[in-house]
Protein backbone atom coordinates (compact mmCIF):
# COMPACT_ATOMS: atom_id res chain seq x y z
CA UNK A 1 0.00 0.00 0.00
CA UNK A 2 1.44 3.36 -0.99
CA UNK A 3 1.64 6.16 1.57
CA UNK A 4 -1.11 8.21 -0.08
CA UNK A 5 -3.56 5.30 0.27
CA UNK A 6 -2.50 4.78 3.86
CA UNK A 7 -3.10 8.46 4.63
CA UNK A 8 -6.63 8.13 3.21
CA UNK A 9 -7.21 4.99 5.30
CA UNK A 10 -6.09 6.90 8.40
CA UNK A 11 -8.34 9.87 7.53
CA UNK A 12 -11.36 7.58 7.42
CA UNK A 13 -10.29 5.53 10.43
CA UNK A 14 -9.76 8.59 12.63
CA UNK A 15 -13.02 10.24 11.55
CA UNK A 16 -14.97 7.07 12.39
CA UNK A 17 -13.06 6.67 15.66
CA UNK A 18 -13.97 10.24 16.69
CA UNK A 19 -17.55 9.61 15.56
CA UNK A 20 -17.80 6.79 18.10
CA UNK A 21 -16.30 8.96 20.86
CA UNK A 22 -18.54 11.93 20.06
CA UNK A 23 -21.72 9.83 19.96
CA UNK A 24 -20.96 7.36 22.73
CA UNK A 25 -23.70 8.71 24.98
CA UNK A 26 -26.36 8.27 22.29
CA UNK A 27 -24.98 4.82 21.38
CA UNK A 28 -25.13 3.62 24.98
CA UNK A 29 -28.83 4.48 25.10
CA UNK A 30 -29.71 3.05 21.70
CA UNK A 31 -27.40 0.05 21.42
CA UNK A 32 -26.66 -1.21 24.95
CA UNK A 33 -25.25 -4.79 24.93
CA UNK A 34 -24.97 -4.77 21.16
CA UNK A 35 -22.15 -4.73 18.63
CA UNK A 36 -22.33 -1.80 16.25
CA UNK A 37 -20.49 -1.45 12.95
CA UNK A 38 -19.30 2.00 11.94
CA UNK A 39 -18.30 3.13 8.48
CA UNK A 40 -18.27 6.66 7.06
CA UNK A 41 -19.74 8.09 10.27
CA UNK A 42 -22.80 5.84 10.13
CA UNK A 43 -23.97 2.82 12.07
CA UNK A 44 -24.33 0.35 9.19
CA UNK A 45 -25.19 -2.77 11.21
CA UNK A 46 -25.82 -3.87 14.76
CA UNK A 47 -26.70 -7.01 16.68
CA UNK A 48 -26.15 -9.20 19.73
CA UNK A 49 -23.58 -11.53 18.21
CA UNK A 50 -20.25 -10.41 16.71
CA UNK A 51 -20.06 -13.06 13.99
CA UNK A 52 -23.68 -12.54 12.91
CA UNK A 53 -23.05 -8.80 12.62
CA UNK A 54 -19.89 -9.46 10.61
CA UNK A 55 -21.79 -11.82 8.28
CA UNK A 56 -24.48 -9.17 7.78
CA UNK A 57 -21.96 -6.64 6.51
CA UNK A 58 -20.21 -9.26 4.34
CA UNK A 59 -23.57 -9.99 2.70
CA UNK A 60 -23.86 -6.27 1.92
CA UNK A 61 -20.51 -6.55 0.12
CA UNK A 62 -18.66 -4.38 2.62
CA UNK A 63 -14.99 -5.08 3.29
CA UNK A 64 -14.81 -6.06 6.99
CA UNK A 65 -11.25 -4.77 7.32
CA UNK A 66 -12.45 -1.21 6.61
CA UNK A 67 -15.05 -0.90 9.36
CA UNK A 68 -14.90 -0.39 13.10
CA UNK A 69 -16.88 -2.72 15.36
CA UNK A 70 -17.59 -1.62 18.89
CA UNK A 71 -19.35 -3.47 21.71
CA UNK A 72 -21.57 -1.05 23.62
CA UNK A 73 -21.84 -2.09 27.27
CA UNK A 74 -25.06 -1.86 29.25
CA UNK A 75 -25.51 0.83 31.88
CA UNK A 76 -23.49 -0.25 34.91
CA UNK A 77 -21.77 -3.07 32.99
CA UNK A 78 -18.05 -2.94 33.69
CA UNK A 79 -15.77 -4.84 31.35
CA UNK A 80 -12.41 -5.73 32.80
CA UNK A 81 -9.68 -7.04 30.55
Query: Is position 60 an interface residue for another protein (rule: CB under 8 A)?
Result: no
Query: Which residue, 14 or 41, is less far from another protein as judged by CB?
Result: 14
Inter-residue contact 75 to 31 (CB < 8 Å): no
Query: Is position 17 an interface residue for another protein (rule: CB under 8 A)?
Result: yes
In order, the DSSP letters of 51-72 are HHHHHHHHHTT--GGGSEEEEE
User: How far apart are the C-alpha atoms of 6 and 27, rounded to whole Å?
Assistant: 28
Which residues make up the interface to another protein (CB under 8 A)?
1, 3, 6-7, 9-10, 12-14, 16-18, 20-21, 24-25, 27-28, 35, 49-51, 54, 64-81
Amino acid sequence: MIEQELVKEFDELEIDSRFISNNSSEFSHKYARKFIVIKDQQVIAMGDNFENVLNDIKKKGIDTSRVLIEYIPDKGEIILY
